[in-house]
C-alpha cells in the first residue's frame, strides 16, 4: 500500500477547513498545512488535525506556496487539496481502494474535479487535475496563478473525483496578480495568456479578453484542448459584443485543431437557433450527441453539453419545425439525465395539453 502526504495552502479558511480535512484525514498518512497569513482561527483548526502546520509569507505566487508545502512532505506520494474541496463518500471509498491497489511505479494520478453544479446539484463543469504525485520525482509547480505541474512519467486516470464546495470568486485577486506580473515586465507564457484572458472575460472586460485570447491562439502553445477552449470562450466574448461574424468564424476555426467538441457544437446550435434557422441548429445539436464519450479529455468539460442540453434544444427545434413527436422523444431523452429538471417537467406538461 502506498503512503500519502496531504499538502494544503490556506488563508482565512476557518469556516470550511475542518469540513475538507474531515473527508480525507483517515485516508492520508500525513497532513501538511501551510498558512499564508490567516487572521482568523484557521491555524487553530489546522493544529487540531496536524502538528505539521507552517507559516509562509504570501508572495502573490501560488506556485511558490505549493512548492513549499510539497517540500515538507515525507511520504511516498503527495496529494493536494484546497480548503473548499471535499471527497464525497463514494469518492472516499474509491481513494481508499486506489491507495490499497495502486502500483508504486505510477508517477502521477489524475483525478476528476467537479467545480460547478446546477440548482439541482448535478455537475455542470468538471476537469481532471494532477492530484497524486510521487514525491521522489520532485515535481515543481509553475506559474504564479492558475499554477500547474508538467505531466511527465507514468500517468494514470482514476475514477476518484474531488468536489468543490465554494462559489467564492477569486477573479479580482487573480487579475491583480496578472497585472502585477505585467507591470514588472514579466513575460507571460502562452498558457498564462489563456488564463489571463479567461479572468478578463469573467470580469466582463470583453475587449481586453478578446485581445489576449487572440494572442494565445497565435502563440506557440501546442496543447489543443486549451486552443479549443480558447475558441469557445472567445466566441462567447464576441457573442456578448453582438459580433456574430467573428463568433461564427472562431467557432468554426476551432475545428482545425480537432473534431468539434460538444461545447462547440452546442454554441453553433444556439447561434442558428437564435436566428430561427432550426434545421441548421438541429444539425449541430445532433452533432454534439455523436461525440464519443470515450473522447473526453483532461480539460474542462461542460457536462450538460454532452447530452442534456442537446436533447432539450432538439426538443425545441423539432417542435419549431412542426415535428411534435420527435420533440416529445427528445424531451423524454433529456429526462433520462435530469428527470427533475424544470425544463423537462414544463415540456412534459406542455406536450400533455397538445
pLDDT at position 188 is 86
Asked whether the predicted pLDDT for residue 295 surpasses 60, the reply is no
What share of the chain has pLDDT > 90, as a percent? 92
Q: Residues, the chain, total?
A: 354
Q: Could you give the CA distance from residue 116 to residue 90 in angstroms, rounded to a whole number?
A: 18
Under a CB-based contact definition with an 8 Å cutoff, are residues 6 and 70 in contact?
Answer: no
The mean per-residue pLDDT over the stretch 161-174 comes to 89
Q: Contact at 8 Å (CB) between 6 and 46?
A: no
* pLDDT at residue 111 in the model: 98
Q: Give the mean pLDDT of 290-306.
A: 83
pLDDT computed for residue 296 by the predictor: 58
**CATH code for 169-258?**
1.25.40.10
Query: Using a CB cutoff of 8 Å and minimum separation of 24, what contacts does 189-193 make?
Result: 189/143, 190/216, 190/219, 190/220, 190/221, 191/143, 191/146, 191/148, 191/221, 191/223, 191/226, 192/143, 192/145, 192/146, 193/219, 193/221
Show me where the domains of the chain are located.
4-164, 169-258, 260-294+301-354
Handedness of CA 307, 310, 313, 314 (dihedral sign): negative
Quick check: do 169-258 and 260-294+301-354 share a fold?
A: yes
What kind and span of H or E run contains 195? helix 190-202
Fold topology of 4-164: Spore Coat Polysaccharide Biosynthesis Protein SpsA; Chain A (3.90.550)
Helix locations, 10-55, DSSP H: 17-22, 42-47
For the stretch 306-340, pLDDT in tens is 999 999 999 999 999 999 999 999 999 999 999 99
pTM above 0.85, yes or no: yes
Average pLDDT over residues 39-53: 98
Q: Could you report the per-residue pLDDT of 205-227, keeping only the tens digit for each?
A: 999 999 999 999 999 877 899 99
Architecture per CATH, domain 260-294+301-354, reads as Alpha Horseshoe (1.25)
The winner for highest mean pLDDT among 73-87, 164-178, 281-295 is: 73-87
d(CA 97, CA 275): 51
- Is residue 254 classed exposed, middle or buried when 0-12, 13-18 and 19+ CB atoms within 10 A define those classes? buried
The pLDDT assigned to 220 comes to: 87
130-146 average pLDDT score: 98
**Over 90: is that where the pLDDT of 109 sits?**
yes
Amino acid at each position: 500500500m502506498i503512503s500519502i502526504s496531504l499538502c494544503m495552502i490556506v488563508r482565512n479558511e476557518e469556516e470550511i477547513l475542518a469540513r475538507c480535512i474531515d473527508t480525507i484525514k483517515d485516508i492520508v498518512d500525513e497532513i501538511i498545512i501551510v498558512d499564508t497569513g490567516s487572521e482568523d482561527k484557521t491555524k487553530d483548526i489546522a493544529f487540531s488535525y496536524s502538528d505539521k502546520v507552517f507559516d509562509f509569507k504570501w508572495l502573490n505566487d501560488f506556485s511558490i506556496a505549493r512548492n513549499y508545502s510539497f517540500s515538507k512532505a515525507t511520504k511516498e506520494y503527495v496529494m493536494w487539496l484546497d480548503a473548499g474541496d471535499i471527497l464525497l463518500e463514494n469518492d472516499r471509498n474509491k481513494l481508499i481502494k486506489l491507495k490499497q491497489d495502486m502500483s508504486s511505479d505510477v508517477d502521477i494520478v489524475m483525478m476528476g474535479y467537479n467545480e460547478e453544479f446546477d440548482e439541482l446539484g448535478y455537475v455542470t463543469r468538471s476537469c481532471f487535475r494532477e492530484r497524486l504525485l510521487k514525491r521522489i520525482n520532485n515535481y515543481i509547480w509553475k506559474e504564479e496563478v492558475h499554477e500547474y505541474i508538467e505531466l511527465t512519467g507514468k500517468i494514470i486516470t482514476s475514477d476518484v473525483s474531488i468536489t468543490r464546495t465554494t462559489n467564492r470568486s477569486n477573479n479580482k485577486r487573480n487579475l491583480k496578480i496578472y497585472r502585477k506580473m505585467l507591470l514588472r515586465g514579466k513575460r507571460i507564457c502562452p498558457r498564462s495568456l489563456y488564463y489571463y484572458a479567461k479572468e478578463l472575460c469573467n470580469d466582463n472586460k470583453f475587449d481586453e479578453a478578446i485581445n489576449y485570447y487572440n494572442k494565445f491562439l497565435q502563440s506557440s502553445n501546442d496543447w489543443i484542448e486549451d486552443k479549443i477552449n480558447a475558441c469557445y470562450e472567445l466566441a462567447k466574448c464576441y457573442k456578448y459584443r453582438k459580433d456574430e461574424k467573428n463568433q461564427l468564424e472562431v467557432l468554426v476555426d476551432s475545428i482545425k485543431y480537432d473534431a468539434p467538441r460538444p461545447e462547440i457544437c452546442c454554441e453553433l446550435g444556439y447561434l442558428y437557433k437564435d436566428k430561427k434557422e432550426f434545421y441548421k441548429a438541429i444539425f449541430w445539436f445532433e452533432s454534439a450527441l455523436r461525440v464519443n464519450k470515450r473522447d473526453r479529455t483532461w480539460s474542462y468539460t461542460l457536462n450538460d453539453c454532452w447530452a442534456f442540453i442537446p436533447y432539450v434544444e432538439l426538443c425545441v427545434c423539432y417542435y419549431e419545425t412542426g415535428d411534435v413527436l420527435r420533440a416529445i422523444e427528445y424531451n423524454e431523452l433529456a429526462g433520462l439525465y435530469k428527470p427533475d429538471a424544470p425544463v423537462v417537467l414544463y415540456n412534459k406538461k406542455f406536450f400533455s395539453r397538445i
